[in-house]
Amino acid sequence: MAAFIIAVSGYVQNAYYKRKSAHWPSVEATVIDRLLQGSEPPDYCLEVRYEFNGRLFHSILRDNLHKVSDRMDVGEKLFVKINPENNSICYLG
| Count of domains forming the chain | 1
Assess contact for 80 and 63: CB atoms under 8 A: no
21: domain range? 2-92
51-93 tens-digit pLDDT: 999 999 998 887 655 667 667 889 999 998 898 888 888 877 7
**CATH number of the domain to which 73 belongs:** 2.40.50.140
**So what's the pLDDT on residue 22?**
79
**So what's the pLDDT on residue 32?**
94
d(CA 82, CA 26) in angstroms, rounded, equals: 6
d(CA 39, CA 37) in angstroms, rounded, equals: 7
